[in-house]
């Protein structure tokens, strides 16, 4: 009888352990699903921008027309474009000792992708040996990163950058802030305002999610041909240092 009782108790213990395992698996599955929901939320309202072209009466007023983007112009800034093959896919605003690179992508109609993109960027930088912090900044959730780079003397070092992003209607705008605006975020107020006041022109044509929205040069651009850089291959969201290098310049845009 004692043997039977012991066997029954062991069976009950095993059943209890099985229930715990099932509960643990269910909890992990719930966590994964919750994470998916977090990164696939619908785009949040943008009361302060960036703007869709349908939300602005005259996008060209006070902005530089780059086709897929209308970028605000301020005194003393330089505007550099970044190329991938034959296409212009990004613009960088340089203002004193800081810069912000702007790049727009197609996105699903009812699904934001910035949460997903942040995870991809963070994973890529971490794999390179960099350091990433996810914080809530003036433009919403952003990544503040120390990215490994090779210094001019050949030694290794780190470049501090901020990755910001906003989901819009069928588009996503990413900004990469470098220079003093990244080292001292409080010094990036004007760059952040430029990001907010940028207008995205998605267009009505079909585009695959995450395809870059192609830009064009302004008609009156004064180009500096030397230093043209090709965009590095790899993840188009990785924000590699090749994307931060000097490109063709449009100087003294006002």
How far is the C-alpha of 210 from the C-alpha of 79, rounded, in Å? 24
Identify the bridge partners of residue 166 per DSSP, sorted by sequence position: 173
Residue 69 confidence (pLDDT): 96
Strand (E) or helix (H) holding 102: strand 98-106
Ramachandran angles phi, psi of 240, nearest 5°:
-60, 165
If you ran DSSP here, which 8-state letter would residue 208 be given?
A: -
Q: What torsion, rounded to 10 degrees, do the Cα atoms 165, 172, 85, 218 define?
A: -90
If you ran DSSP here, which 8-state letter would residue 45 be given?
A: P
CA distances from 26 to 29, 31, 163, 194 (A): 5, 9, 34, 45
Residue 241 confidence (pLDDT): 30
Confidence band for 229, pLDDT divided at 50, 70 and 90: very low
Q: Residue 125 in contact with residue 133, Cβ under 8 Å?
A: no
Q: Which CATH class is domain 51-253?
A: alpha beta
Rg of the chain taking only CA atoms, in angstroms: 24
Question: What's the residue count for the chain?
Answer: 254
Q: Convert the pLDDT of each residue in 65-106 to its tens digit.
A: 999 999 999 988 999 998 888 889 899 999 989 999 999 999
Q: Give the lowest-confidence range in 40-49, 143-152, 212-221.
A: 40-49
Residue 80 confidence (pLDDT): 92
Alpha helix ranges (H) inside 41-185: 114-127, 180-183
Identify the bridge partners of residue 145 per DSSP, sorted by sequence position: 132, 161
Q: Convert the pLDDT of each residue in 23-64 to its tens digit.
A: 554 545 455 454 455 555 666 777 788 999 999 999 999 999
Contacts of 2 (CB under 8 A, 6+ apart): none
How far is the C-alpha of 43 from the C-alpha of 66, rounded, in Å? 24
Ramachandran angles phi, psi of 7, nearest 5°:
-65, -40
> Is pLDDT at 233 greater than 60 in this prediction?
no
Residue 148 confidence (pLDDT): 93
Across residues 4-20, what is the average pLDDT? 53
How far is the C-alpha of 50 from the C-alpha of 55, rounded, in Å? 10
- pTM of the complete model: 0.73
């Amino acid at each position: 009888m004692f043997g039977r009782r012991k066997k029954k108790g062991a069976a009950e213990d095993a059943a209890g352990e099985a229930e715990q395992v099932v509960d643990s698996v269910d909890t992990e599955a719930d966590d994964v699903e919750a994470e998916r929901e977090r990164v696939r939320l619908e785009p949040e309202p943008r009361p302060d921008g960036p703007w869709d072209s349908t939300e602005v009466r005259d996008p060209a007023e006070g902005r530089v027309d780059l086709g897929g983007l209308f970028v605000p112009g301020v005194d003393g800034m330089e505007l550099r474009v970044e190329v991938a093959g034959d296409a212009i896919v990004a613009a960088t605003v340089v203002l004193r000792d800081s810069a912000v690179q702007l790049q727009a992508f197609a996105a699903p109609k009812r699904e934001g992708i910035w949460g997903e993109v942040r995870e991809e960027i963070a994973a890529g930088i971490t794999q390179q040996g960099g350091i990433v912090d996810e914080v809530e900044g003036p433009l919403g959730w952003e990544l503040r990163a120390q990215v490994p780079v090779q210094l001019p003397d050949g030694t290794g070092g780190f470049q501090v950058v901020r990755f910001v992003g906003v989901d819009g209607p069928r588009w996503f705008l990413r900004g990469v802030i470098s220079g003093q605006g990244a080292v001292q975020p409080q010094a990036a107020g004007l760059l952040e305002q430029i990001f907010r006041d940028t207008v995205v022109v998605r267009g009505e044509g079909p585009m695959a999610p995450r395809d870059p929205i192609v830009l064009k040069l302004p008609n009156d651009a004064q180009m500096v041909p030397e230093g043209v850089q090709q965009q590095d291959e790899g993840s188009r969201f990785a924000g590699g240092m090749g994307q931060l290098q000097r490109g063709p310049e449009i100087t003294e845009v006002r």
